Amino acid sequence: ERMNGSGYPQGLSGEEILLEARVLAVADVVEAMSSHRPYRAALSIKTALEEITKNRGTLYEPSAVNACLALYEEKNDLMPKADKYRKYSVRKNKVKIRRFG
């Protein structure tokens, strides 16, 4: 779900969306963008934070975005380190799945 009602599954908007879900949506976007995916390399934390800032109030809960930005600003010494080690993401490695039973 998105703040402007453009999300899914129910197209809820604003206060219709549980606060917990609005907070998780911001965390999910930052994590998803800054993690390696099979179809693209991880993006920088800076890029993820720019995305939530650009869409604050439209797609994402403003107070959740503000809290996220404040946390990263408070811990800003961690951001360059996090970006530096993205290339070592375990998600880049293929995992063999075995079925038991």
**In a domain? residue 98:** no
Q: What's the whole-model pTM score?
A: 0.74
Looking at the structure of the chain, the number of domains it has is: 1
Considering the domain boundaries, does residue 29 fall inside one? yes
Domain region containing 52: 14-87
Q: Specify if 6 maps to a domain.
A: no
Q: What is the pLDDT of residues 15-55, one digit of tens each?
A: 999 999 999 999 999 999 999 999 999 999 999 999 999 99
β partners of residue 37: 40
Helix axes 62-74, 19-33, angle to 10 degrees: 50
